[in-house]
Amino acid sequence: MNKRDLVWKTFHNEKTGAVPVGFWFHFAKDELEDVFQNPGIRDINIEGHRKFFRDFKPDFLKIMTDGYFRYPNEIFNNARDVSDLKGIKPIKADHPWIQEQVRFAKDIAAEFGGEVLTFYTIFSPATIFKFARQETAKDPDTILADFMLKDKAAVLQALKTVSEDFAFLARAVISEGGVDGVYFSTQDVRDPRISAELQRECLAPGDFSVLESANAAGGLNILHICSYAGHHNEAARYRDYPAQVINWAASLENLSLREGKKIFGRKPVIGGFDNTSAGVLYRGSRAEIEAETDRILNDAGTVGIALGADCTLPRDISLEHLNWVRERAKTAAVQ
């Protein structure tokens, strides 16, 4: 069975006799740097995908969008008070930030899509709001929480408005760019003042519009509940998000692939390994990594399971460690 068929069947909960493996990390030194300010990031990113593909030969490819994290909407990015969001408008489909990403997706899909399924990374509008405030003294989650508590209607409307751009991007990278789906990254607002109900009311409508657009384009789409830098999330909050495959921080949240499958209605899942430099995948011996692979698969089974990590791996991780996972998974799958 070729890799495209293997992952397609796995992501439809079909028995395959094999367990696909997918890991990823950033290729640029600073993924938040703006590609329009430093166009060389695009070449670095493409060459990074080539080297990773050549050296690791992944079973599927999550396309890293280093350089495109800065959504160029001045009102959205520069609002100091929630009232500043009220005049917000989408940047529209013909904006270079969208069209260049469609071209980037097309280049990657053309090069690798014949061998593996490709998934284009798109972040939720709320996550992009936080990216734009990474250099502020105040925690970006706190800023967003302040806005939500002051005027939830304004936040809801702003996120729904900018989601028009992300929804178009999701549709275009599939229908025009030729990728097989999107890898949609979202996360909780990490602030104790924000209830599950308020988060749902403000964030979910925009998130749904992006995923529904990707679905309408025929994508096989992955929901990533992002735990980057130890960001905790309540995975169950996302149980009805309209994605076909789910990835969350199994180790950070102490929520196994088996238990997560129950929460998400038996949907196919990706993950199992700690993604940090403290985890066994990064620091472990071959015997330790093989033992962890056995532990994950003995608990979760091998149907509708792809081995991966909680989130993006450190850039300097040894690819040999990732290969140890793949080789051990082959043994588990045939037992």
pLDDT tens-place string over residues 42-59: 999 999 999 999 999 999
Does the pLDDT at position 335 exceed 60? no
Q: What is the pLDDT of residues 85-122, one digit of tens each?
A: 989 999 999 999 999 999 999 999 999 999 999 999 99
Length of the chain: 335
- Domain 3-334: give its CATH code: 3.20.20.210
Cβ(243)–Cβ(211) below 8 Å? yes
Q: What is the pLDDT of residue 16?
A: 94
Sorted by where each begins, the domain ranges of the chain are 3-334
Q: What is the pLDDT of residues 174-184, one digit of tens each?
A: 999 999 999 99
Residue 5, number of CB atoms within 10 A of its CB = 12
Q: What is the pLDDT of residues 214-255, one digit of tens each?
A: 999 999 999 999 998 889 999 999 999 999 999 999 999 999
- Which of 151, 157, 153, 156 minimizes the C-alpha distance to 203? 156
- Which of 275, 185, 200 minimizes the C-alpha distance to 230? 275
C-alpha to C-alpha distance for 51 and 49, rounded to whole angstroms: 6
